[in-house]
Amino acid sequence: MDQLKTGDVAPAFELQDQHGNTVRLADFRGRKVFIYFFPKAKTSG
């Protein structure tokens, strides 16, 4: 996958939350969403 740049539309994705429930980006359509990406574990950054 290509790297996202500022202003790019986020690709559709789904993941499990801390309770094991599936959360989809599409569930938030029409709402503002803040998505935080962080570096790989145990790396500087």
Average pLDDT for consecutive 10-residue bins of the chain (45 residues)?
A: 82 92 94 80 71
Domain positions in the chain: 15-45
Q: What is the pLDDT of residue 40?
A: 73
Q: In this predicted structure, what is the pLDDT of residue 20?
A: 95
Q: List, in sequence order, the alpha helices (H) in 1-45.
A: none
Question: Is the CB of residue 25 less than 8 Å from the CB of residue 12?
Answer: yes
CA distance 12 to 24: 8
| pLDDT at residue 38 in the model | 72
pTM of structure: 0.58
pLDDT value of residue 45:
59
